[in-house]
Amino acid sequence: MPETLNGFIERVTYHNPENGFAVLRLKVKGRLELATVVVTTTSVMAGEHVEATGRWFIDSQHDQQFRAHELKTTHPASAEGIEKYLASGAICSVGPEAVQAAYA
């Protein structure tokens, strides 16, 4: 039976724009450690809220991961999420340096 994970993308570990394969690290409420989510998606950015539907599995090289067959994202609403989103390069000419300068 499929499960649903809700959380915020802490970082995009890997994303292949040619085939959409992505490895995400999610901050999920109730979990101390970040959850690893593997999914195929067109685009995804750090700071976005995610609702992923799929199943947990054990990868022989990378331990426990959540393989999502459906992924819904929404732009961040919290200050921390907005900061991560802007620092990710989602908007042209706004990157980590500009975000750090704004908080200096």
Q: Where are the domains of the chain?
A: 3-77
- Predicted local distance difference test score (pLDDT) of residue 47: 86
**Strand pairing class (63-74; 35-40):** parallel
- Predicted local distance difference test score (pLDDT) of residue 60: 84
What is the pTM assigned to this prediction? Answer: 0.74
Structure token digits, residue 46: 């750090």
Closest CA to 9 of 92, 88, 93: 88
- Predicted local distance difference test score (pLDDT) of residue 24: 96
Please give the mean pLDDT across all residues of the chain. 83
Instruction: Decide: helix, strand or coil at residue 60.
Output: coil
- Predicted local distance difference test score (pLDDT) of residue 22: 96
Q: Report the DSSP beta bridge partners of residue 12.
A: 24
Task: Give residue for tokens 């901050």.
Answer: 27
Instruction: Decide: helix, strand or coil at residue 84.
Output: helix
- Predicted local distance difference test score (pLDDT) of residue 41: 93
- Predicted local distance difference test score (pLDDT) of residue 81: 61
Residue ranges for the chain with pLDDT beneath 50? 99
- End-to-end CA gap in the chain: 48
CATH of region 3-77, choose from 2.160.10.10, 2.40.50.140, 3.30.1330.20, 3.90.850.10: 2.40.50.140
Instruction: Decide: helix, strand or coil at residue 83.
Output: helix
